[in-house]
Amino acid sequence: KTNIVTCTAPVNIAVIKYWGKRDEELILPINSSLSVTLHQEQLKTTTTVATSRSFQEDRIWLNGKEEDITHPRLQSCLREIRRLARKRRGDGDPSVDSTGLSHKVHICSVNNFPTAAGLASSAAGFACLVYTLARVFGVEGELSGIARQGSGSACRSMYGGFVQWIMGKKDDGKDSLAQQVEPETHWPELRILVLVASAERKPVGSTSGMQTSVQTSSLLKHRAESVVPGRMVEMIEAVQRKDFAAFAELTMKDSNQFHATCLDTYPPIFYLNSVSQQVISLVHRYNRHYGETRVAYTFDAGPNAVIFTLQQHVSEFVQVVQHFFPPETNGGQFFKGLPVNHAA
């Protein structure tokens, strides 16, 4: 018997950034983080998992190309899902297909956006993998702790809306989980735009970048211990009040501090390019022009800007961006107005 399940998972954009691990294997962070999960139909990964008695071994294809299934993070996710499935069978749950448990899986995963361009593809990818595997093996319940072991930021894509990843204290990571702060319906006017400055692969990946930062940056230590805890509280309050100015200012400051820790890393890491810097200046000039904070930027481990604004300002801001970055001069930039909730 062949069993096939297909699921999709969206990208999430951190507004309080995760950067640095206290445990590399379990993927435990040095600070909590908070993100906004995009609408399902926008930037997303689609994963199909098939199980069959006739499969000889586990295999995986990413965007049509077969990849190494022995990758330790993939193995962690597969092992943890199978462990939970076995546990449920052991508990005598009849809904668990006991024959399928020993079967090998074929996994096929595709992104509808460029991989490794700093657009959080690993987050959507591992969230989707874990969720789809769980469905295939009949596992339910808390899965963010497993997605976390695929890629830290992936644990936040297990929920919609506004999501915090609580860093936890335990050595075994059992308390390092994602939790929804507000659902996707909470702030229907909020909009996300992605300004693609480059769709190329980033020179330094997040995993190795944050490793070097933990080893060399005293600013990162200060950030994790003394800045982020207070910011998490303020950010959650700003989201709950739907206070755009407070949300936007914290978002920009946190992005800037993250990139400052990259510069404080030795040797330094540069994720922003000249286009990113121009976008930063433009956002501040735009806000200054109106005398209020109408737009915010945030950048992950790459030069692409993610812009937060409210619905009523989207078309004007897009016009301003297109005025300063005409499509014909920058070859291949595109802009998207992405609703973050289903009602929009």
Per CB under 6 A, residues contacting ligand DP6 are 14, 17-19, 27, 33, 120, 122, 151-153, 206-207, 300-301
Closest distance to ligand DP6 from the beta carbon of 151 (Å): 3
Burial of 7 (0-12, 13-18, 19+ CB in 10 A): buried
Cβ distance to ligand DP6 smaller for residue 16 or 85 = 16
Closest distance to ligand DP6 from the beta carbon of 101 (Å): 28
Are β-strands 178-182 and 335-339 bridged in parallel, bridged antiparallel, or unpaired? unpaired
Cβ distance to ligand DP6 smaller for residue 51 or 251 = 251
Listed in sequence order, the residues at least 6 apart from 207 whose beta carbon sits closer than 8 Å to its beta carbon are none
**Helix, strand and coil percent figures for the chain, each rounded to 5:** 40, 20, 35
Cβ distance to ligand DP6 smaller for residue 33 or 333 = 33
Cβ distance to ligand DP6 smaller for residue 14 or 238 = 14
Closest distance to ligand DP6 from the beta carbon of 301 (Å): 5
- Residue 114 CA to its chain's centroid (Å): 14
Q: Which residue is nearest to ligand DP6 (CB)?
A: 152
Closest distance to ligand DP6 from the beta carbon of 177 (Å): 14
Distance CA 316, CA 326 (A): 15
Give the bridge partners for 297, in sequence order. Answer: 307
Cβ distance to ligand DP6 smaller for residue 60 or 314 = 60
Contact 158, 82 (CB under 8 A): no
Residue 116 per-residue DSSP state: T
Closest distance to ligand DP6 from the beta carbon of 289 (Å): 29
Closest distance to ligand DP6 from the beta carbon of 173 (Å): 12
Helices in 72-194 by DSSP H: which ranges? 72-90, 121-136, 144-148
Contact 28, 66 (CB under 8 A): no
Contact 103, 95 (CB under 8 A): no
Cβ distance to ligand DP6 smaller for residue 153 or 265 = 153
Cβ distance to ligand DP6 smaller for residue 29 or 138 = 29
- String of b and e for 256-293 (b: at least 16 CB within 10 Å)? ebbbebbebbeeebebbeebbeebbebbeebbeeeeeb
